[in-house]
C-alpha cells in the first residue's frame, strides 16, 4: 500500500439542460468535465433546500446516497457522487438515454394500443432482476444492507434506446418516507403503487417492492392503473375489497399463463405473495424462454424505435429529449 498515494478528486460539472422538476427537486442533463477535453454525460438531481434544512432528512439522505452508490447492476441506474453544494445537496447519476415506462404508456394510449405482452413481461423481469440484486446486496463485512426501493412505479422504470431496462431512484424513497411528517405526505411513495402494508404505515420489506412491481406489470399489460386514485383511504379500501381483475379483460392477446404470476405479485397476504425477486425472475423467465427464443434487449429497442419514430436516438439535444414527468 505504500506505493499508493491518496488524492482528492473534485469533479466539475456543466449543466446542459433542465429535464424535469418535481416535489423533491430538479433533474438536469449535465457534462462531467475532466482533463484534456474529457466529458461524460451524467444526470444531476438537486434537492430542495427546505428538505435539506431538516437535520433528520439530511443525515438519512447522505447515508442512503452512500448505500446506493454500491448498487452496481445492469438494470439499476447507478449513483456516481453526492455533492455538497453549500447548503444543499445534489446526486450525480448515470444518464439513461431513453424513456420511462410512463412515456411508453402515454404513447400507447395515444395510439389506442397495448404493449406486446412478451415485452411487458420482459420489462418486469428486468425490474425483478434489479430488485433481487438490491434486496440481496451486502456490505464489505457481509452484512445484509436491507435495501428496499419503496417507490417502484412507471416513472422510475426506464428503457434505453438500446433496450436496456433501468430501475431508478433506489434508496431515495426509503430516505424520504422516514423523514418528518410534512415530507411524508409528499414522498412516502406514489399512492396508486403502494402495497397494503405500505399504505397502512406498517413496516415494509422486499415484498413491498414486489407488490409494486405487480401493479406496474398490470399497467404494462392493460394500459390501466389497478388503483387509479391518489386518495390513500380509497386505495386501502380497494386493497381489501377490490378483486384483482384478469388483464385479459382489456387485452385478450395476453397469454393465460401470465395471470398466476400477476396474482401472486399482487397477493394481499404477505406470506402468500412472492417472497423474493429471485422467485419472480425464475417464473417470468421460464415463461419467456421455456420454449427457446424469447424477447431480448434488441427486440425491445426495435419496438421503441418503431413507437417513437420522431426521436433521433443518436442525439440527446435539444428537441430529441423526451422529458420524464
Q: What is the pLDDT of residues 146-175, one digit of tens each?
A: 889 999 999 999 999 999 999 998 766 565
Asked, for residue 271, whether it belongs to a domain, the answer is yes
Q: What is the DSSP string of 155-201?
A: GGEEEETTS-EEE--TTHHHHHTTS-HHHHHHHS--GGG--HHHHHT
CATH code for the domain of 198: 1.10.510.10
The answer to the question of residue 222 being in a domain is: yes
Would you state the pLDDT for residue 58?
Answer: 72
Q: Which CATH number goes with the domain that contains 84?
A: 3.30.200.20
Residue range 207-251, pLDDT digits in tens: 999 999 999 999 999 999 999 999 999 999 999 999 999 999 999
Q: How confident is the model at residue 316 (pLDDT cuts 50, 70, 90)?
A: low
132 and 217 fall within a common domain: yes
Q: Is residue 7 part of a domain?
A: no
Query: Is the CB of residue 28 less than 8 Å from the CB of residue 17?
Result: yes
| Domain shared by 201 and 246, yes or no | yes
Alpha carbon distance 79, 95 (integer Å): 10
168 and 200 share one domain: yes
Evaluate whether residue 4 is within a structural domain. no
Measure the CA–CA gap between 153 and 216, rounded to whole angstroms. 6
What's the domain count of the chain?
A: 2
**Is the same domain home to 112 and 234?**
yes
Same domain, 152 and 292: yes
Q: Supply the range of the domain harboring residue 58.
A: 12-94
pLDDT at 321: 43
151 is catalytic: yes
Q: What band does 74 get if pLDDT is binned at 50, 70 and 90?
A: very high
Q: Does 292 share its domain with 219?
A: yes
* Contacts with 81 (C-beta within 8 Å, 6 or more apart), sequence order: 11, 69, 91, 92
pLDDT over 70 (residue 178): no
Digit-coded pLDDT (tens) for 12-66: 889 898 888 876 778 899 999 988 889 999 999 887 777 777 777 777 677 777 7
Are residues 80 and 114 located together in one domain of the fold?
no
Does residue 1 register a pLDDT over 50?
Answer: no
159: which 3 cell numbers?
428503457
Does residue 265 sit in the same domain as residue 190? Answer: yes
Half-sphere exposure of 187 (CA within 13 A, CB side): 23
Residue 30 corresponds to which cell in the numbers above? 449535465
Among candidate residues 103, 151, 169, 177, the one labeled active-site is 151
Given 63, 94, 125, which residue is the final one in a domain? Answer: 94
Whether residue 322 is contained in a domain is answered as no
Q: Which of 211, 219, 235 is nearest to 100 (CA)?
A: 219
| Greater pLDDT, 202 or 303 | 303
Residue 102 lies in a domain: yes
Does one domain contain both 217 and 281?
A: yes
117 and 87, same structural domain?
no
Name the 3-class secondary structure at 27. Answer: strand
**Domain contains 17:** yes
User: Both 225 and 191 in a single domain?
Assistant: yes
How far is 78 from 68, CA to CA, in rounded Å?
8
Question: Looking at 94, 111, 138, which one is the last position of a domain?
Answer: 94
Classify residue 321: in a domain, yes or no. Answer: no
Are 222 and 262 in the same domain?
Answer: yes
Q: DSSP letter at 248?
A: G
Amino acid at each position: 500500500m505504500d506505493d499508493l498515494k491518496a488524492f482528492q478528486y473534485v469533479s466539475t460539472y456543466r449543466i446542459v439542460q433542465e429535464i424535469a422538476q418535481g416535489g423533491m427537486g430538479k433533474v438536469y442533463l449535465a457534462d462531467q468535465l475532466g482533463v484534456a477535453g474529457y466529458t461524460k454525460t451524467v444526470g444531476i438531481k438537486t434537492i430542495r433546500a427546505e428538505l435539506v434544512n431538516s437535520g433528520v432528512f439530511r443525515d438519512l439522505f447522505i447515508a442512503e446516497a452512500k448505500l446506493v452508490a454500491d448498487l452496481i447492476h445492469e438494470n439499476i441506474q447507478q449513483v456516481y457522487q453526492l455533492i455538497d453544494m453549500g447548503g444543499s445537496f445534489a446526486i450525480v447519476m448515470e444518464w439513461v438515454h431513453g424513456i420511462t415506462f410512463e412515456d411508453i404508456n402515454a404513447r400507447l394510449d395515444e395510439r389506442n394500443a397495448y404493449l406486446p405482452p412478451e415485452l411487458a413481461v420482459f420489462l418486469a423481469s428486468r425490474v425483478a432482476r434489479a430488485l433481487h440484486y438490491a434486496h440481496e446486496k451486502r456490505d464489505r463485512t457481509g452484512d445484509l444492507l436491507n435495501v428496499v426501493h419503496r417507490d417502484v412505479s412507471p416513472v422510475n422504470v426506464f428503457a434505453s434506446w438500446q433496450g436496456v431496462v433501468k430501475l431508478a431512484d433506489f434508496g431515495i424513497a426509503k430516505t424520504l418516507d422516514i423523514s418528518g411528517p410534512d415530507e411524508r405526505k409528499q414522498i412516502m411513495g406514489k399512492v396508486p403503487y403502494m402495497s397494503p402494508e405500505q399504505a397502512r404505515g406498517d413496516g415494509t420489506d422486499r415484498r413491498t417492492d414486489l407488490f409494486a412491481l405487480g401493479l406496474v406489470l398490470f399497467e404494462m399489460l392493460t394500459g390501466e392503473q389497478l388503483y387509479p386514485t391518489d386518495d390513500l383511504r380509497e386505495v386501502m379500501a380497494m386493497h381489501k375489497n377490490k378483486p384483482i381483475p384478469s388483464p385479459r379483460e382489456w387485452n385478450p392477446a395476453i397469454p393465460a399463463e401470465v395471470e398466476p404470476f400477476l396474482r401472486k405479485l399482487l397477493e394481499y397476504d404477505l406470506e402468500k405473495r412472492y417472497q423474493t425477486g429471485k422467485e419472480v425472475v425464475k417464473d417470468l423467465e421460464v415463461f419467456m424462454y421455456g420454449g427457446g427464443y424469447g424477447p431480448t434487449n434488441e427486440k425491445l429497442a426495435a419496438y421503441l424505435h418503431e413507437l417513437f419514430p420522431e426521436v433521433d436516438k443518436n442525439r440527446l439535444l435539444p428537441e430529441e429529449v423526451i422529458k420524464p414527468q
